[in-house]
Structure 1
């Protein structure tokens, strides 16, 4: 929290605005990790989700949250993401974190199947306490679209303290690379454009780190 205290005046500035959100959409350049996923029998979406969430935990600015008017820092995450069901209605999947990529992927797939087989809205997150609910990063994937902008809903415009990530349709980049539209929304009192740049770099680094290992 020492780093946050250095920017508390910036936090106060943005937190007093009608909307404190900063939202940047950009083409995210990544190593093409899909052949590695195929080799190891792992779903590319869930491997990318693992890398993206690991990356947010490596950058302090994405770990700040607000609860009852106080700023605190999370040290773990409860992974969650959007899915669609058989009626093409949105639902939410949530599962327990694992540091092991294969276990992370297996739990994510199980949560996806559970949520996508529901007709009603999955309200498991309502079982979390208000503070426990802060241990999330809101995630959505729109694989059909190469979007160039996006607006994420927020419960309170003035307090978008839980970051939102979205990504879209993959396309080939330079040899050995791929590119996808990527969106980051966060509280500007915590996160600046530099930190979003750092997050992009860290996601690529996490993918490279994952590919340097052979999951059991």
Structure 2
């Protein structure tokens, strides 16, 4: 982890402008194509949710602004951020958080994710780890092909962890599409960075064989 210092005067103003807002997060929802990704997952008999979490986290880590966090009005950059995603529980109809260390190998990530998910299904958790913010908060809404989504969060104090959600697949012009929503702190992440993220996600989804270690 390292400290980020804004040398450009306008970047400093941009940070201060949005950081003093009561609700500084903004959200973008778009459709991404998953046709070739789903073919790859079926061919290699991979678990869908873990594969999506891995690729969406990989894309987020590739944009450094998605790894920036605000601490005491200062900005720090994590070397890597880790997915904390929702999973069902055994004894109730609401979710548990499932936090898995991000790994550079999909198969290693799947093994660890399955282990943690099994534990969380039996012993659910809704608590964040104290003093940690190196997460991506992630959730699947597989019942709805949503066009927008709003996340519950504290306004005072607000956090700077990005939220990433995806929804029900749907067919469009002979392609399988998936709604993808990203919410981030505007003092850290601008529209350009959002665009970089969506472009990286689509690249990974179109060419999974090129980027996954098989």
Calculate the TM-score normalised by the size of structure 1: 0.86
Matched residue, 1:44: 48
CA distance in 2 between partners of 1:26 and 1:58 (Å):
19
* CA pair 96-171 structure 1, distance change in 2 beyond 3 A: same
- Residues 4 and 75 of structure 2 are in contact (CA less than 8 Å); yes or no, is this contact kept in structure 1? no
2:76 pairs with 1:72: yes
CA distance in 2 between partners of 1:158 and 1:20 (Å):
11
Note the C-alpha offset of 1:29. 2.9
- SS at structure 2 position matched to 1:212: helix
Note the C-alpha offset of 1:208. 4.3
CA distance in 1 between partners of 2:149 and 2:25 (Å):
13
Aligned partner (choices 176, 179, 203) of residue 205 of structure 1: 203
Structure 1 runs of 4+ off > 6 angstroms?
none
Note the C-alpha offset of 1:115. 1.2
CA distance in 1 between partners of 2:183 and 2:212 (Å):
33
Aligned partner (choices 106, 114, 120) of residue 119 of structure 2: 114
Deviations 1:144-181 (A, max 9, x none): 11112211122335634100001100123455x42111
Note the C-alpha offset of 1:141. 0.4
Note the C-alpha offset of 1:31. 4.6
Matched residue, 2:95: 90
CA distance in 1 between partners of 2:166 and 2:97 (Å):
16
Note the C-alpha offset of 1:17. 1.2
- SS at structure 2 position matched to 1:14: helix
Matched residue, 1:143: 142
- Residues 19 and 158 of structure 1 are in contact (CA less than 8 Å); yes or no, is this contact kept in structure 2? no
- Of stretches 133-142 and 35-44 in structure 1, the one that deviates more from structure 2 is 35-44
CA RMSD across the alignment: 2.2
Aligned residue-pair number: 209
